[in-house]
Amino acid sequence: MAAYLLLVLTLASAEGVTFRFASYYGDHMVLQKKPAGAVVWGYGEAGANVTVSLSKDSKVIMKKMAQVEEHSETWKVVLAPMDHGGPYSVMAEQHSREEPKNLMLQDIYFGDVWLCSGQSNMEMTVSQIINASKELSEAPLYPYVRVFTASLIQSEVELQDLAKIDLEWSIPTAENLGHGNFSYFSAVCWLFGRHLYETLRYPIGLVESSWGGTCIEAWSSGRVLQECGLTGDTTRFLLPTLLSGPEMPSVLWNAMIHPLLNMSLTGVIWYQGESNAFMNTDLYNCTFPALIADWRSAFHAGSDGQTQPLFPFGFVQLSTVRRQDRDDRFPRIRWHQTADYGYAPNKRMPNTFMAVAVDLCDEHSPYGSIHPRDKQNVAYRLHLGARAVAYGEKGLVFQGPYPTKVVVDGARGLINVTYGQELLLLLMHDRIFEVCCSHRPQLSAQEPCQWVPAPMVSASSHTVTLSSPGCRDAVTRLRYAWAEWPCEYRQCPLYNKQLLPAPPFVSDSALRTGWANC
């Protein structure tokens, strides 16, 4: 890898004076619309002046000037904020002692740009999901949803630009949406963008930068690792052999995220966490919020303040893997994905949104049960969160019901769990709720817990009543769907009227669900 990295850096240095756009600018791309100004940058002869012109119907409507920096041999302009629409042409002209040189981008649109990142469930292409033939055949119906995919590259140092690209900016076709397995284009990313287009009716640009079998540490800068106490001990990054992605910290941040920082964008969606069920699991409640904050800061700075400092960040709470629980790694990682709140947005993760996928199991997936094929529901749930959080759509319900109060009736051996939304009860379940029994009413989070099932005995519009027959001592904690595979496909007990599932939770008197005893 070191030799390969040296080759990349040597080539970059040798070609640095070649006048060109940065690697991820191309025909058919979407640039970020107002209120942000789109950033356009590239390389040129040190000290030369560059003029960037924006044209429509052969008429120049905007010009911006920049000078190529001596050290980096790069130039950068920020276009004035533009309404959505197109097509436009972007021309860059370098003025130097030699003859002027021109570059041209055609069929450019202004809209919203979303970055899609994570591991293999983000990588799964449209050809791998249920109803793939139908989804692929409908690609030509969405010519204003444009797609781009970065190549799988890792680096031990931060790269200025992408070293390689798998899919240049493209108008969607069946071929480029279903190129192969775990290649391009991401089904979750595509379906999310398609939903947004159907709602917003203006261009959407989708940038995929994901790699299967990868841990969050590989996508994290050194700042994140330091904040979470992960510097200096490389043994904490050695993944089990069943995981296939890069093992070392920051190598994907360096090669697949850092090069994109100059880009003006609307937000990010993220589908990752499976690998961290096998390493540094209980640090995810630090690493994930820290990554979000760090990416926000870095993209804001890299885009000269055009990307919002608190841009929307959506994520998928993990689905299922194995029917038989061997441990509680997956329930823990799901909980830590929310910074131990159980829902998003929350105080530690503002301006985020979550798609719950715990009910989208797929035991017979040909890609393994860890890769469920129903990405349509994942993307639909994500886009609801984006509409509410990113676009401020008022009154839109985008997350499932979450408990607001728990009342323990010790005399009758009953527990009443009250939810903040009206419930849709699909079935009664004997084991999906569990209680912790302890003779000590204030059991600390580190002490072992005797968990026993709390069968559902009745339900009303907002309240579920549980029985705790196996609990002779005080009930100190309650949890829901705390299993690797808690229910069958779209058959968890509790949903809301919008068919969004209640997320897993664990609660005690020290956490965020109110307790009362009677």
pLDDT tens string 307-329: 999 999 999 999 999 887 778 99
d(CA 159, CA 157): 6
pLDDT of residue 233: 60
Closest CA to 18 of 79, 98, 77: 98
Given this model, what pLDDT does residue 324 score?
78
Q: How far from 484 is each of 68, 282, 319, 445, CA to CA, in Å?
A: 54, 16, 8, 21
Helix (H, G, I), strand (E, B) or coil at 273: coil
Query: Residue 8's pLDDT is what?
Result: 42
Hey, what domains does the chain have and what are their CATH numbers? Answer: 20-106 (2.60.40.10), 110-391 (3.40.50.1110), 403-508 (no CATH)
Q: Which amino acid is at 261?
A: L
DSSP count for the chain of H helices, then E strands: 10, 25
Buried b (16+ CB within 10 A) or exposed e, 48-69: bebbbbbbeeeeeeeebebebe
**Strands 505-508 and 474-480, how do they pair?**
antiparallel
Burial 165-203 (b: 16+ CB within 10 A, else e): ebbbbbbbebebbbbeebbbbbbbbbbbbbbbbeeeebb
Q: Supply the pLDDT for residue 376.
A: 98
Ranges in the chain, pLDDT < 50:
1-16, 241-242, 510-518
State pLDDT tens for residues 382-422: 999 999 999 999 999 999 999 999 998 888 889 999 999 99
* Helix (H) / strand (E) containing 55: strand 49-56
Nearest residue to 493 via CA among 464, 450, 454: 464
Going through 339-381 in order, the beta strands assigned E by DSSP cover: 352-356
